[in-house]
């Protein structure tokens, strides 16, 4: 399941802009009609204008519906993001109202054109066209609040992080100021993305690195997995559940130097709570800031984002722990597995392909025949 490109959600026009766009395009249609008979010419002009206005409105509205992500097709993480940011029910209801309006406008155009076929005077054509315009305007005004909601929601959703649930994801946790963001920056192959996270007022850091053509994503958790359970509210617990759905591995950073402002004992208590909250996910404990302390344990890695010490060893441990490249049955690879094109299809019709093959055979160099050796007498 691919990630949602929130920034690619199309711009949402204001209700009046939708109408102005439709009627402006419709106004250009009358000049395209040619008929020597005035009665038939006007009827065709008015019918064409109504159809053009209807098409423009319907296509604009349906483009929004088509290009906005379907919640049912998204990962649980993305669904939780949308629910916390703008509300999942409101998301569905407002898009449903937009789709209803598009269908209603098209029905109005069909009804108007059918009526025009029954009229016998030119003024009736103009009146029916104005009447159809009025009904379309009424429909757009009726969903005006839905359109405005869509515009506001787009501005909010564009700030959300894009995390691909089909690729491995590492959730980086730990107390504040233990070096989570610095570690993500050090491990990332590029500049980490800083995105909004609707569960907290703090920004979310998303980085990634590549190994064997597979993208490993890393997500910082500011304001969530950095303090005791008793200090978290219901929304933050919802955020932790969302992280559990997207994470393949939890990386918990501990600062033994205690320069982060939390004692080692408090950090270890926080670690035990995170292990309970994300019990379904494997967890790796890491000592950060190894350049300013000597604390060490056999089962805990030591790293320093400042000096780079232990970073590559940690990267190898992450890759081995997730085992995303492990293939048990090479004949049944997952749909998201990276494949190379094994065969390039020849260009042209079957007849052209066969003709080129025959020409190649005719022009191919003849194999040389070796001379027969004669036995000497």
Is 282 among the domain residues? Answer: yes
The span from the first CA to the last CA of the chain, in angstroms, equals 81
Domain with 315 in it: 169-322
Is 240 among the domain residues? Answer: yes
* Token duo for residue 181: 């963001």
SS3 220: strand
Number of domains in the chain: 2
Pick the last residue of a domain from 127, 157, 187: 157
Closest Cα partner for 210 from 164, 179, 178?
Answer: 164
* Token duo for residue 19: 């109408």
Is 273 among the domain residues? Answer: yes
pLDDT at 222: 64
Q: In percent, how much of the chain has pLDDT > 70?
A: 81
How many other CB atoms sit within 10 Å of the CB of residue 79?
A: 18
Is 345 among the domain residues? Answer: no
* Token duo for residue 332: 């049944």
- Residue-wise pLDDT tens digits, 337-368: 555 555 566 777 777 778 888 887 777 776 66
Is residue 196 located within the same domain as residue 302?
yes
Is 361 among the domain residues? Answer: no
Is residue 135 located within the same domain as residue 173?
no
The H or E element that residue 211 is part of is strand 203-211
Q: 119: domain CATH number?
A: 1.20.120.1190
Is residue 278 located within the same domain as residue 215?
yes
Is residue 106 located within the same domain as residue 202?
no
pLDDT band at 1 (very low <50, low <70, confident <90, very high): very low
Is 347 among the domain residues? Answer: no
- Angle CA(199)–CA(145)–CA(92) in degrees, nearest 5? 55
Residue 361 makes CB contacts below 8 A (sequence gap 6+) with none
Q: Is the dihedral of CA 192, 194, 195, 201 positive or negative?
A: positive
Mean pLDDT, the chain, whole residue set = 83
Phi–psi pair at 123, nearest 5 degrees: -60, -35
- Residue-wise pLDDT tens digits, 188-237: 987 777 766 555 545 677 888 998 888 899 988 665 665 666 666 665 66
Is residue 70 located within the same domain as residue 153?
yes
State mean pLDDT over 237-249. 69
Is residue 207 located within the same domain as residue 272?
yes
Strands 203-211 and 193-196: antiparallel
Q: 259: domain CATH number?
A: 3.40.50.300
Is residue 274 located within the same domain as residue 199?
yes
Is residue 178 located within the same domain as residue 141?
no
Is residue 241 located within the same domain as residue 128?
no
CB 233 within 8 A of CB 199: no
Is residue 313 located within the same domain as residue 194?
yes
Torsion of CA 149, 152, 153, 156, to 10 degrees: -160
Mean pLDDT comparison of 288-292, 365-369, 372-376, highest-scoring range = 288-292
State mean pLDDT over 68-82. 82
Pick the last residue of a domain from 322, 345, 372: 322
* Token duo for residue 138: 């009424």
Question: Where is pLDDT greater, at 312 or 299?
Answer: 312
SS3 74: coil
What interhelical angle do 144-157 and 76-85 show, nearest 10? 120
Put residue 310 in one of left, alpha, beta given phi > 0 → left and psi -120 to 50 → alpha.
left
Is 365 among the domain residues? Answer: no
Is residue 152 located within the same domain as residue 181?
no
Residue 250 makes CB contacts below 8 A (sequence gap 6+) with 170, 171, 173, 274, 278, 281, 282, 283, 284
Is residue 152 located within the same domain as residue 193?
no
Closest Cα partner for 47 from 61, 33, 62?
Answer: 33
Pick the last residue of a domain from 322, 339, 371: 322
């Amino acid at each position: 399941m691919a990630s949602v490109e929130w920034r690619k959600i199309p711009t949402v026009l204001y209700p009046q802009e939708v109408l102005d766009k439709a009627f402006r395009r419709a106004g250009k249609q009358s000049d395209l009609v040619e008929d020597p008979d005035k009665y038939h010419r006007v009827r065709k002009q008015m019918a064409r204008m109504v159809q053009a206005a209807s098409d423009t409105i319907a296509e604009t509205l349906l483009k929004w519906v088509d290009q906005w992500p379907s919640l049912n097709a998204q990962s649980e993480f993305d669904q939780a993001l949308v629910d916390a940011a703008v509300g999942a029910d409101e998301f569905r209801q407002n898009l449903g109202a937009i789709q209803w309006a598009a269908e209603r406008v098209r029905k109005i155009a069909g009804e108007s054109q059918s009526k025009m076929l029954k009229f016998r005077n030119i003024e009736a054509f103009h009146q029916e066209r104005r009447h159809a315009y009025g009904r379309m305007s009424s429909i757009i005004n009726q969903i005006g609040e839905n359109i405005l909601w869509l515009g506001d929601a787009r501005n909010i959703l564009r700030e959300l992080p894009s995390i691909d649930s089909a690729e491995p994801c590492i959730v980086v946790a730990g107390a504040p100021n233990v070096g989570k963001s610095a570690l993500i920056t050090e491990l990332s192959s590029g500049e980490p993305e800083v995105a909004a996270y609707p569960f907290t007022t703090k920004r979310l850091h998303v980085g990634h690195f590549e190994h064997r053509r597979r993208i490993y994503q890393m997500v910082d958790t500011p304001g969530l997995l950095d303090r005791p359970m008793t200090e978290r509210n219901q929304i933050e617990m919802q955020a932790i559940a969302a992280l559990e759905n997207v994470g393949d591995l939890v990386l918990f950073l501990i600062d033994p130097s205690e320069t982060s402002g939390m004692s080692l004992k408090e950090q270890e208590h926080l670690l035990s709570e995170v292990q309970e909250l994300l019990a379904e996910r494997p967890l790796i404990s890491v000592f950060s800031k190894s350049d300013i302390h000597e604390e060490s344990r056999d089962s805990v890695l030591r790293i320093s984002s400042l000096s780079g010490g232990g970073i590559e060893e940690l990267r190898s441990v992450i890759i081995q722990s997730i085992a995303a490249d492990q293939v048990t049955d090479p004949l049944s690879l997952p749909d998201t597995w990276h494949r190379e094109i094994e065969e390039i299809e020849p260009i042209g019709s079957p007849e052209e392909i066969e003709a080129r093959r025959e020409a190649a055979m005719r022009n191919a160099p003849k194999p040389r025949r070796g001379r027969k050796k004669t036995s000497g007498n």
